[in-house]
Amino acid sequence: MSDQVIGIIAGILTSASTLPQLIKTIKKKEASDLSAYIFIMLIVGTGLWVYYGVLKDDIPIIATNSFSVLLNVIGLFLKFKYSPKEEMLS
Amino acid sequence: MSDQVIGIIAGILTSASTLPQLIKTIKKKEASDLSAYIFIMLIVGTGLWVYYGVLKDDIPIIATNSFSVLLNVIGLFLKFKYSPKEEMLS
């Protein structure tokens, strides 16, 4: 198996781990068990991984972390959409 | 900033995002909101990232994903320790 295939599989598994939580939040229209801080941390972290991938010219890192950035931005959006105002940053 | 420093910061942010959930589980001694499947997915995914890092001789990927493997193994252990038997794989 080529290095790239291993990187892509690794990235799909780690990125997709966010999906069940997002699906649950959309179904329940309820986000009080999500943390805005963690999404912000993950957006910065996966964003830096994308930048690292660009520096290293590494396609699996760029592709799968771009997908993660997107999922975490959606997560943060859902947090603000479905949380009562007073617990928005809890 | 060197590539390695960017990779290490990216990896610390993404790995450490698991910590609040683990700390909450240990404090509450309750794991029904955790998913064993997601921990297994993350153990395989971050394990493959470690392997990818070894293939690419990439220290930030190896170091930070090894830390993630450890945190997710701890998460899976907590899931089995603090879940009632009937919901162990829910």
ipTM value for the complex = 0.87
Residue B5 contacts A, CB cutoff 8 Å: no
Confidence of residue A33 (pLDDT cuts 50, 70, 90): confident
- CATH fold, domain B3-87, is Monooxygenase (1.20.1280)
Contact at CB, B6 and A60, closer than 8 angstroms:
no
Contact at CB, B44 and A16, closer than 8 angstroms:
no
The whole-number average pLDDT for the span A18-35 is 89
Please state the separation of Cα B14 from the chain's center in Å.
Answer: 9
Contact at CB, B52 and A60, closer than 8 angstroms:
yes
Confidence of residue B83 (pLDDT cuts 50, 70, 90): confident
Residue of B nearest to A18 (CA): B38
Q: What pLDDT score was predicted for residue B84?
A: 75
Contact at CB, B13 and A56, closer than 8 angstroms:
no
Residue A77 in this model has a pLDDT that exceeds 90: yes
Closest residue by Cα to residue B79 from B41, B22, B1: B22
Residue B33 contacts A, CB cutoff 8 Å: yes
Residue B3 contacts A, CB cutoff 8 Å: yes
Distance from CA of B41 to the nearest CA of A (A): 6
Q: Which amino acid belongs to residue A29?
A: K
Which residues of B are less than 8 Å from A7 in CB distance? 48-49, 52
Task: Check if the beta carbon of residue A49 is closer than 8 Å to that of residue B10.
Answer: yes
Confidence of residue B77 (pLDDT cuts 50, 70, 90): very high
Contact at CB, A3 and B55, closer than 8 angstroms:
yes
Structure tokens at A52: 């690292």
Task: Check if the beta carbon of residue A7 is closer than 8 Å to that of residue A56.
Answer: no
